[in-house]
């Protein structure tokens, strides 16, 4: 092992955990996309006009295509796709149950804000996976026109009734809070994924003292310990990193943080 | 006008009505596919396992692709796709409201039997349209694996509980009865589509006395009269023509007519 490149030797040690974490990430993403498909298809059915039904149905179909690609990638890697998705059914269903939109506008904001922040999160995790997995995850995170469609609808609604801005901003905050809570629960239950996250936080924090505890835990190869390190604080830090894009999305809709 | 080819001259007279009927047919089909997409996506969400959720989501996505093609074809023809779909919202929604499945098996039988007989019907009408429209409609009617999936699921359920065969056979009969009733309502409201149907029945019945009344009505160019001719009897005859494929589908599932 070369002493000249401590970063590369760190990466090599992480490899097996990263591979298991990749299967977890693909399973999480595949189920997230399948559920996003169900939600968007349901929203499309309730949309007020034939044109908006069609536009949301297009978004739903794009999510299905993402699901299918992730599912097929899992099969290609020799994993059982359904088994890889299974651990994430409860936390993702819980997130959706706790953030049931009460209006069509709320469902639009949820699709945009919720899937947006989740997408940024998945994207960060994917950077830690093998190049093929990274490429597939990145492709499935393209927003395919959703941003423009949702932002235009929400802005128009707020222009008509300015009181909506405050209510929908509150709704966006609740969506993020619930997402944070479910992400913590996932990190606690899935040590491989948590280890992958921990290694990502470690690289990001390189040279900072805050990364030292995580790094030590992973170097021991003790995944359970890494998982404990990947607790509230780590997930919160990760979410904090995602706020820039989140704020941009809120602003595009005319909402405040 | 040549006296040597009365069939061709009939066809030439039908052309304008057929063009308007084609736009009606595409609008009907586009909305039917959009609603089929909503139904299948809803069924997928309620499916008992992750694998069956995924399989039904695939079927839903195929319906969305069909919707998108029909929608784009309407735009290509210079029609307003939403305006073309609008007249069929009420009868198709009524059909779905009256045939709300009470179990996952009922929803499977509905997807297969209902969409099957509707597909056969659309396919017959499409034969009367211009070649491009005909080709697109035919492509959107490919069942993309649904038959095998549904038949296998239903047969397996009946093997486990043979009493289901009678109940599901009754359900299939009700589906066809309600479809017949909505098809009559559509024929009565859409004279161009009815005229297209009437011309189709006329060609099919050429040389038979039963076609004489329809033929005369269309030769007058009186579409309202053609629409009246396209009443219960005509739609019923058309449905009767579709029973062969319908019976084959029932048998594939282990159900009786």
pLDDT at B179: 84
A 82-101 residues inside an 8 A Cβ radius of B: 82, 85-86, 89
**For the packed helices B115-126 and B6-46, what is the interaxial angle rounded to 10 degrees?**
160
Output phi, psi for B80, to 5 deg. Answer: -85, 110
B117 touches B174 (CB < 8 A): no
Q: Which domains does chain A have, with CATH numbers?
A: 15-253 (1.20.1260.10)
Cβ neighbours of B208 (radius 10 Å): 10
A85-89, A186-190, B144-148: the lowest-pLDDT one: B144-148
ipTM: 0.72
From the CA of A49, how many Å to the nearest CA of chain B?
9
As a whole number, mean pLDDT of residues A104-121 equals: 84
Q: Of B119, B146, B125, which is closest to residue B59 (Cα–Cα)?
A: B146
CB contact under 8 A, B82 and A31: no
Nearest by CB to A41, which of B31, B37, B82? Answer: B37
User: What is the torsion angle, in degrees rounded to the nearest 10, for the CA atoms of residue A77, residue A82, residue A84 and residue A88?
Assistant: 150
State whether residue B47 sits within 8 Å of chain A by CB. Answer: no
User: In this structure, what token pair is assigned to residue B165?
Assistant: 């065969």
Query: CA angle A213-A218-A221, nearest 5°?
Result: 140
Distance CA B141, CA A58 (A): 19
CB contact under 8 A, A34 and B49: no
User: In this structure, what token pair is assigned to residue A188?
Assistant: 């606690």
B56 touches B30 (CB < 8 A): no
A 55-84 residues inside an 8 A Cβ radius of B: 57-58, 60-61, 64-65, 67-68, 71, 81-82
> Distances in Å between the alpha carbon of B218 and those of A27, A127, B8, B98?
60, 67, 14, 34
B214 touches B201 (CB < 8 A): yes
Q: Of A58, A73, A64, which is closest to residue A33 (Cα–Cα)?
A: A64
Sign of CA dihedral A236, A238, A244, A245: negative
Distance CA A54, CA B35 (A): 10
Distance of CA A151 to the CA centre of its chain: 20
**Is the pLDDT assigned to residue A244 strictly greater than 50?**
yes
State whether residue A34 sits within 8 Å of chain B by CB. Answer: yes
**Is the pLDDT assigned to residue B25 strictly greater than 60?**
yes
**Is the pLDDT assigned to residue A6 strictly greater than 50?**
no
Stated as kind and residue range, the H or E segment containing A93 is helix A89-98
Q: Of A210, A50, A135, A35, which is closest to residue B53 (Cα–Cα)?
A: A35
Shortest CA distance from B46: residue in chain A: A38
Q: Of B183, B62, B162, B175, which is closest to residue B108 (Cα–Cα)?
A: B175
From the CA of B35, how many Å to the nearest CA of chain A?
8
Q: Exposed (0-12), middle (13-18) or buried (19+): which is A11, by Cβ within 10 Å?
A: middle
pLDDT at A22: 82
Q: How confident is the model at residue A143 (pLDDT cuts 50, 70, 90)?
A: low
pLDDT (tens digit, 9 = 90+) per residue, B148-166?
Answer: 888 888 999 999 999 999 9
Distance CA B142, CA B62 (A): 10
């Amino acid at each position: 092992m070369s002493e000249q490149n401590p970063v590369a030797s760190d990466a090599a040690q992480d490899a097996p955990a990263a591979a298991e974490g990749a299967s977890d990430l693909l399973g999480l993403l595949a189920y997230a996309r399948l559920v996003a498909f169900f939600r968007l298809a349901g929203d499309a059915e309730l949309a007020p006009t034939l044109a908006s039904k069609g536009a949301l149905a297009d978004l739903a179909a794009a999510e299905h295509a993402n699901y299918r690609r992730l599912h097929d990638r899992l099969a290609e890697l020799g994993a059982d796709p359904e088994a890889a998705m299974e651990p994430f059914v409860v936390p993702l269903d819980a997130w959706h149950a706790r953030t049931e939109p009460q209006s069509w506008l709320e469902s639009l904001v949820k699709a945009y804000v919720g899937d947006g922040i989740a997408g940024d999160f998945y994207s960060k995790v994917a950077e830690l996976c093998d190049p093929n997995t990274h490429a597939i995850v990145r492709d499935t995170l393209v927003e395919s026109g959703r941003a423009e469609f949702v932002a235009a609808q929400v802005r128009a609604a707020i222009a008509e009734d300015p009181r909506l801005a405050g209510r929908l901003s509150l709704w966006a905050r609740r969506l993020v809070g619930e997402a944070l809570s479910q992400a913590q629960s996932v990190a606690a239950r899935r040590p491989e994924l948590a280890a992958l996250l921990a290694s990502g936080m470690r690289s990001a924090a390189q040279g900072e003292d805050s990364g030292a505890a995580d790094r030590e835990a992973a170097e021991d190869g003790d995944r359970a310990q890494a998982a404990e390190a990947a607790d509230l604080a780590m997930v919160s830090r990760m979410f904090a990193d995602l706020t820039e894009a989140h704020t941009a999305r809120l602003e595009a809709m005319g909402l405040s943080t």
